[in-house]
Amino acid sequence: MTAPVQQFKRQAEVLTHDLRHREIIQTALGKYAVVRDKNRGAFQDYQSARQAAAETKWEAINHLDKHLEQLVSKLEARGTKVHWASTGDQAREIIQKILREKKARSIIKSKAMTSEEIHLNHALEEEGFEVVESDLGEFIVQLKKETPYHIVFPAMHLTRGEIRDLFNKELAANATDNPEELTMVARRVMRQKYITADIGFTGANFAIAETGMISITENEGNARLTAALPKTMITLVGIEKVLPRLEDLALFLPMLATSGTGQPLTCYNTMYSGPRQPGEPDGPEEWHVVLLDNRRSELLADPEQRDALHCIRCGACLNVCPIFRNVGGHTYGTTYSGPIGSVITPHLRGLDEWKHLSYSSSLCGACTETCPVKIDLAHHLLQNRRNSVQKKSSPAWKLGFELMNFVFKRPGFYEFVAPLGRAAQKLHPMIAGKAFDPAFPWTKTRSAPKIAKQTFKEWWRERG
């Protein structure tokens, strides 16, 4: 198996040269930026709103134990069955056990990145269950046998024409690339699935401790149908999704929508507080909430980076990230891509294997600047780099920096850098841009800067 770093570099090489792909992403995200900025303007003071959101998340995460206990007791009080899963394996086993007990065959799902994180669909399909994604973007990538391209826009890398071809091939549709028409194709398939599914599976955007509610925001109404029609509902929630109070949603729902899609609010915002109660005419008969840790508590134990648990999965950092915009979501090879993925994947899946994501950043800080809950993303990339070197340094890089230090700390040696550089540069044009040029990573696409005829220090000394 290829190491993730090789996989990343190979894919990045391909996609950075795919100008069509780059154009699709830049255009989509350019449109997002325009509406996002417009709707940020609808906040009385957007920067204060960010500060308030960050503080609420600090409170939620710093007292996570207390909030989780409260959440669970409120959920259980209305008859919800709550399960604790320390690992992805455990979460899958819990869910599979429920499915077996219910003798379920088919599952309709609304969008849940946590289920991607634990590779749920794959495990369920292996066992013979039918799993259907009901979010349109997720439905498309599922048909294409791909993972979501982006936390919020799973199919943003596909054009209407590609989706038309996919639907015509996989669903025997006879559609044009008209968006309404394509949506109706998906809708016809899904409506049947909602009615026949044994299980409705959802994720969660927020979990309200005070009232024991799960908040789901969406634009298609698919999560509502997923939750309302099947007899049994299962919700998988990362433990960091907790908010202390119901009123916190007044800030977080518009914050999530504006950061996520640029909307003032998403079209449907629903709070689920329990299964069907006595006397109620509809709703699932049973509701299982699975709380997923999967190394989140290890991140909580890291005083430098625990604010990464503030993340509301809005994808805003991906949208502004110049690396994401040039290499795309799949290149990362992770569930969570972009800056937040580069920060948390080493914590969730191991630093050794995933540290390259922290290095593949120019540290421009656009992510930190846009994050609605003020996660110190760019600096966390630096900390991941430091931590990986502390665990295992590269002998070549270490030697390089030691040599550099040796020269830079000794003016007598540093004086020779300019004359030696000038001599080397006389010969360099012969090999510049060729594969055996030691500076090839630079000179392949860039001309090399020239050592000046007179350096600053030479000038300074000359003027006396």
Partner 1 sequence: MTVSLFIPCFVDLLYPKVGISIVQILERLGHKIDFAEELNCCGQPAFNSGYWDEARELAAPVVKRLKNAEAVVIASGSCGAMLKVFYPQLFAGTELETDAKKLSSKCFEFSDFLVTKLGVTDLGAKFPAKVTFHDGCHGLRELGIKRSPRALLEKVQGLQLVEMKEEICCGFGGTFAAKFPMISTAMGDVKCAQAAETGADYIISNDSSCLMHIQGLLEKQGKKLKTIHLAEVLTSR
Rounded to the nearest 10 degrees, what angle do helices 249-260 and 46-62 cross at? 120
Q: How many CB atoms lie within 10 A of CB 257?
A: 21
Q: In this chain, which stretch among 197-205, 228-236, 276-284, 441-449 interacts with partner 1, using CB under 8 A?
A: 441-449
Indicate whether 397 belongs to the interface with partner 1 (CB under 8 A): yes
Q: How many CB atoms lie within 10 A of CB 140?
A: 23
Question: Residues 6 or more apart from 17 whose CB is under 8 A from it?
Answer: none
Binding residue (CB under 8 A) for partner 1 from 278, 279, 281, 411 = 411
Question: What is the C-alpha separation between 184 and 191, in angstroms, rounded?
Answer: 10
Indicate whether 455 belongs to the interface with partner 1 (CB under 8 A): yes
Cβ proximity to partner 1, 107 vs 327, nearer residue: 327
Cβ proximity to partner 1, 55 vs 369, nearer residue: 369
Q: Shortest approach of partner 1 to residue 331 CB, angstroms?
A: 9
Binding residue (CB under 8 A) for partner 1 from 188, 195, 359, 434 = 359
Residues between 421 and 440 that touch partner 1 (CB under 8 A): 421, 433
Radius of gyration of the chain (CA): 26
Cβ proximity to partner 1, 177 vs 437, nearer residue: 437
Indicate whether 441 belongs to the interface with partner 1 (CB under 8 A): yes
Q: Shortest approach of partner 1 to residue 399 CB, angstroms?
A: 10
- Residue type at 124? L
Binding residue (CB under 8 A) for partner 1 from 24, 228, 246, 418 = 418
* Of 306, 299, 304, the residue nearest 383 (C-alpha): 304
Show the beta-strand stretches assigned E in 110-160: 130-133
Indicate whether 323 belongs to the interface with partner 1 (CB under 8 A): yes
Q: Shortest approach of partner 1 to residue 24 CB, angstroms?
A: 14
Cβ proximity to partner 1, 14 vs 250, nearer residue: 14
Indicate whether 445 belongs to the interface with partner 1 (CB under 8 A): yes
Q: Shortest approach of partner 1 to residue 455 CB, angstroms?
A: 5
Binding residue (CB under 8 A) for partner 1 from 398, 416, 423, 429 = 398
Question: What is the C-alpha separation between 463 and 204, in angstroms, rounded?
Answer: 68
Contact (CB, 8 A) for 348 and 361: no
Question: What is the C-alpha separation between 290 and 234, in angstroms, rounded?
Answer: 7
Q: How many CB atoms lie within 10 A of CB 24?
A: 17
Contact (CB, 8 A) for 61 and 309: yes
Q: Shortest approach of partner 1 to residue 78 CB, angstroms?
A: 46
Q: In this chain, which stretch among 208-216, 229-237, 252-260, 362-370 interacts with partner 1, using CB under 8 A?
A: 362-370
Binding residue (CB under 8 A) for partner 1 from 38, 169, 188, 450 = 450
How far separated are the first and last CA of the chain, in Å rounded?
A: 62
Indicate whether 99 belongs to the interface with partner 1 (CB under 8 A): no
Binding residue (CB under 8 A) for partner 1 from 31, 38, 105, 446 = 446
Residues between 26 and 65 that touch partner 1 (CB under 8 A): 26, 33
Q: In this chain, which stretch among 78-86, 246-254, 260-268, 388-396 interacts with partner 1, using CB under 8 A?
A: 388-396
Q: Shortest approach of partner 1 to residue 25 CB, angstroms?
A: 11
Question: What is the C-alpha separation between 134 and 190, in angstroms, rounded?
Answer: 7
Tokens (6 digits) for 398: 């270490």
SS (H, E, C) 149-208: CCCCCCCCCCCHHHHHHHHHHHCCCCCCCCHHHHHHHHHHHHHHHHHHCCEEEECCCEEE
For partner 1, the binding residues (CB under 8 A) are 9, 12-13, 16-17, 22, 26, 33, 322-323, 325-327, 359-366, 368-369, 378, 382, 385-390, 393, 397-398, 401-402, 404-405, 408-409, 411, 414, 417-418, 421, 433, 441-442, 444-452, 454-460
